[in-house]
Amino acid sequence: MTTKRKALGRGLSALLESAETDITSVEPKALHSIATIPISQIVANPFQPRAEFDDEALEELSESIKIHGIIQPITVRKIGYEKYEIISGERRTRASIIAGQNTIPAYIRLADDQQMLEMALIENIQREDLNAIEISVSYRRLLDECGLKQEELGERVGKKRSTVNNYLRLLKLPEEIQLSIKEGELMMGHARALINIEDPDTQMRIYKAAMQGNLSVRQVEQMVRDEKEVGTSTSKQKSTYFDFSDFIPQKNQIAKKLAADIRFKSKSNDKGSIIINFSSKEHLEEILGKID
């Protein structure tokens, strides 16, 4: 009876030290410290922002782990007795399993679901190999699911509000363009130029011209400026605006031959002009010599 009364008197500490009820600490693995834990006790992060992992890259990482081990510990949260959930490091965990590892070094902490999501998203954003769309989706989730404002989000990720806003605007682009960005076919510079046009059809036309003509960011920016100039014209001019996207390859050939930046300036009724830019008098003489 005495022993039982003593155990009951321990109250909360008795619960915390019980293998059945402990969700805050486990001996000898202390909370907020790095410990080596069995991979079998780890479950995936349900809030993982990244849905796809490159198989070849995982194989390469697993080979490195076989030789050097895990250099950077993963981060997990404790969700029960000898049970952990990944906050960051799912790729390292997957590669460790492929490498045949049974344990993995991990930093252990506590977190509720919202903290878990926020930490996972921010950690994901800080990766160097993310594409612009993955970053944009993570920003959107931080705003929508974590209730952050753009100013707070900028502070969390160390970016200016304008930078965050530019990423968010990418999600308004047509799906085909977003997929192209995601697959690395269209660079962020090109996309940043396209978001300055609101009409999806115009965005698609410039995008296709950029892809077909292998246009530089500067060339796409110029096309966007040309579109905006046309936007100040009358609606009649807009309806008869000459579409020069089919002539992009020829334009690039001329630009290469003359070693000069060339752009089309279109008007209504299939009229327009070819503008050849030069940087100096000598450059102009060189261009004219090639034309002769």
Rounded to whole angstroms, the Cα distance separating 51 from 48 reads: 7
Mean pLDDT of 257-263: 80
110-151 tens-digit pLDDT: 766 667 667 777 776 766 567 888 888 888 887 877 777 888
Who wins on pLDDT, 19 or 103?
103
Residues recognised as catalytic:
90
Residue 204 one-letter amino acid: M
pLDDT reported for residue 127 = 66
Delimit the CATH 3.90.1530.10 region(s) of the chain: 11-130
**Is the torsion defined by CA of 185, 245, 258, 275 positive or negative?**
negative
Rounded to whole angstroms, the Cα distance separating 195 from 207 reads: 11
Q: What's the CATH architecture for 11-130?
A: Alpha-Beta Complex (3.90)
Mean pLDDT of 27-55: 75
State the chain's mean pLDDT as an integer. 77
* Residue 109 buriedness (CB in 10 A; 0-12 / 13-18 / 19+): middle
The model's pTM:
0.49
